[in-house]
Amino acid sequence: MNVIILPLSAFDDTAATIDNAEQLNHIKTVLKASVGDTLKIGKLGDKMGVGQIAHIDDKVCLLENVRLDTNPPPKLGVTVMLALPRPKVLRRLIMDMTAFGVHHIILINSVRTDKSYWGSPLLARLDEFVLEGLQQGVDSVPPAITLAKRFKPFVQDTLPSLINNKSALVFHPYADTSFKEFIHHNPLPDMIIIGAEGGFVPYEIELLASVGVRAVSLGERILRTESAVNATLGRWV
């Protein structure tokens, strides 16, 4: 937690209130901060800055002399469309993509996505995972998140307007061109699409190709979804 991100409701002129249990625990046990100390804070969806601790106990931390005068870092300028992963890795992926600065995350269904994943209670906690990612990456502006439970309608009806003549790549283990080769001759794409473990099936690759998405590989090795996401986004930083 490299910055503490607070909702709009936490602020009152030059004061702010922290009552989130996890944030309070971090302030007390990790930062070991006390009255008079200054904390790095940010307003969700807005600017970042500092605030001075005026009072702290087990339930609340009150800040005074709050100053929000720092713009958040720019986003990467890339949209990530990801086949909904296993619930156990969903939290880490949302956190990592948010920390990297992805501005739009699309979670989509695929043939290899287990139907039970869409019923996971973790989907109702995406805002929590985004907050963790923001605080890790020292950012205050959350990414947009879209849930697309039907692959074909989304690809045919919505994806073309999102691509809008920009470059979009789908990572496919058996593509003829590698991502490394592609970016050697072209700018980084505006959208990357990554399937479930094992990748998208041929039908899905063909459907994506029909709306202008080009298939590339990450080399000869087949990676886990989270490894593929992090390895790819590393090209932007």
Q: So what's the pLDDT on residue 219?
A: 78
CATH number of the domain within which 20 lies: 2.40.240.20
Q: Are residues 221 and 111 in the same domain?
A: yes
One domain for residues 57 and 110: no
Alpha-carbon span 8 to 11, nearest angstrom: 6
What pLDDT does residue 209 have?
A: 95
Q: Is the pTM of this model over 0.85?
A: yes
In this structure, the answer to whether residues 157 and 122 fall within a common structural domain is yes
pLDDT of residue 134: 98
**Are 45 and 128 found together in one domain?**
no
Written as tens digits, the pLDDT of the chain (237 aa) is 899 999 999 999 999 999 999 999 999 999 999 999 999 999 999 999 999 999 999 999 999 999 999 999 999 999 999 999 999 899 999 999 999 999 999 999 999 999 999 999 999 999 999 999 999 999 999 999 999 999 999 999 999 999 998 999 999 888 889 999 999 999 999 999 999 877 899 999 999 999 999 999 987 777 888 888 999 999 998
Residue-number span of the structural domain to which 193 is assigned? 79-236
113 and 62 housed in the same domain: no
pLDDT in tens, 122-148: 999 999 999 999 999 999 999 999 999
> Could you tell me the CATH number of the domain that includes residue 184?
3.40.1280.10
Q: Domain check: are 43 and 154 in the same one?
A: no
pLDDT score, position 137: 96
Q: How many domains does the chain have?
A: 2
On whether both 99 and 177 belong to a single domain, the answer is yes
Domain boundary among 70, 101, 121: 70
Last residue of a domain, one of 49, 70, 91: 70
So what's the pLDDT on residue 220?
Answer: 75
Give the end of a domain, one of 52, 70, 88: 70
